[in-house]
Amino acid sequence: MKIEFTLNNKPETVDTDPMRRLLDVLRDDFGLSGVKEGCGEGECGACSVLVNGEIVFSCITPVGTVEGCTILTIEGYRKTDRYRTLEKALEEAGGVQCGFCTPGFVLAAEALLRRNPHPSEDEIREGLSGNLCRCTGYSGIVEGIRAVAEREGLWAT
């Protein structure tokens, strides 16, 4: 099946089994290795990408369901000013240890902040609740996003 979508700001077409996992299409067909497989069952969030601005698990998304959608992976996002702000804040807050979960959390943060530029701590934790981290206990990640949320800036509407 031919499936068209915008990937990291570029229009793309794939002709493939529509039941293939979006994760495999992104990693194997497009070489986007920043999208990780941590569990393959929609539990850990290492595979998170933005589809039409919403955070989804690419490991349980059939590629056939993203026809006409806009997809953003960490590779596309890391070129933005918003990324650089989050990167600095997460680093300073000690929110990165082994790094495997981190791109997923970055995209979850983007999805949260674009909806809610000044989330409370509860709202931050809720927004991240689909991402698992085993190294940090979440403290550094939440703190980094809170630091970004408290400032005026790139997400202000």
Partner 1 sequence: MAVIGPAAISRPVPRPDVPEKIGGSVPYIGDIRFPGMLYARTLRSSVPRARIAAIEIPSMPEGYFVVDKHDVPGKNGVHMLTDEQPFFAEDKVNYVGEPILLVAGPDREEIDRILKKIRVEYEEVPPVFCEEDSGNPDVPPLFGKHDLFCEYEIKRGTVEAEFEKAALIFEDEYRTGAQEHVYIEPQGMAGVFDGERVTVYGSMQCPYYVKTALVQGLGWEEDMIRVVQTTTGGAFGGKEEYPSLIAGHVAFAAIKTGRPVLLVFDRAEDVYSTTKRHPSRIRIRTTVDGNGAITAMDIDVALDGGAYVGLSPVVLQRAMFAATGVYRIPCVRVKGRVFATNSVPAGAFRGFGAPQAFFAVEMHMHSLAEKLKKDPLEFKRSYMLGRGDPTVTDGKIKETVPLPRMLDRLCALSGYDSKSRTFKKEGSSRGIGVSLFFHGCAFTGSGEKDKIKAKVLLKKQGDGSVSILVSSVEMGQGAQTTLRKIVAQTLGFDIGRVRYENPDTDRVPDSGPTVASRTVMIVGGLLARAAGRLKERMDETGEVEIEERYVQPPHIEWDQETFRGDAYPVYSWGANAVEVEVDPVTFEVSVTGVWGVYDVGTPIDERIVGGQIEGGISQGLGYATVEVLQQQKGRLLQKNLTDYIIPSSKEFPDPVYELYSSPYEYGPFGAKCAGELPFVGVAPALAAAVQNATGRPVRRLPVSPEYLFEAANDED
Partner 2 sequence: MGNMTDAYRPGSLEEAYRVRARTGAVPLAGGTDLMVRHRRPAGLVPDPGCPVLLIGHLESLARVEEGPDAVRIGACATYTSLLKHESVPEILKRCIGLLASPPIRNRGTLGGNICNSSPAGDTLPVLYALDCSLVLASTRGERVLPIDRFITGPGKNTLADDEIVKEIVVPKNSFSSQYYRKVGTRRANALSKISFAGLFSKESGRVRDIRIAIGAVAPTIVRSREIEGSLKGMPIAMLKKTAGAVAARYKPLIRPISDQRSTERYREGVSLRLLEQYLTTGIEQEE
Q: Which residue has the tokens 């809170």?
A: 146
Q: Is 9 in the site for partner 1 (CB under 8 A)?
A: no
Q: Is 33 in the site for partner 1 (CB under 8 A)?
A: yes
Taking the complex as a whole, the smallest distance from the CB of residue 88 to partner 1 amounts, in Å, to 9
Q: Is 121 in the site for partner 2 (CB under 8 A)?
A: no
Closest CA to 11 of 63, 93, 70, 55: 70
- Cα(59)–Cα(48) distance, rounded to whole angstroms? 8
Q: Which residues pair with 7 in a beta bridge?
A: 10, 71
Span near partner 2 by CB under 8 A; candidates 42-50, 77-85, 91-99, 147-155: 42-50
Helices 102-115 and 139-150, interaxial angle, to 10°? 30
- Cα(144)–Cα(25) distance, rounded to whole angstroms? 31
- Give the footprint of partner 1 on residues 103-142 (CB under 8 A): 103, 106, 125-126, 128-129, 131-142
C-alpha to C-alpha distances, 18 to 30, 43, 56, 66, 84, nearest whole angstrom: 16, 22, 17, 9, 34
Identify which of residues 42 and 117 has a Cβ nearer to partner 2 in the complex: 42
Taking the complex as a whole, the smallest distance from the CB of residue 77 to partner 1 amounts, in Å, to 9
- Give the footprint of partner 2 on residues 11-30 (CB under 8 A): 17-21, 24, 28
Span near partner 2 by CB under 8 A; candidates 43-51, 70-78, 79-87, 92-100: 43-51
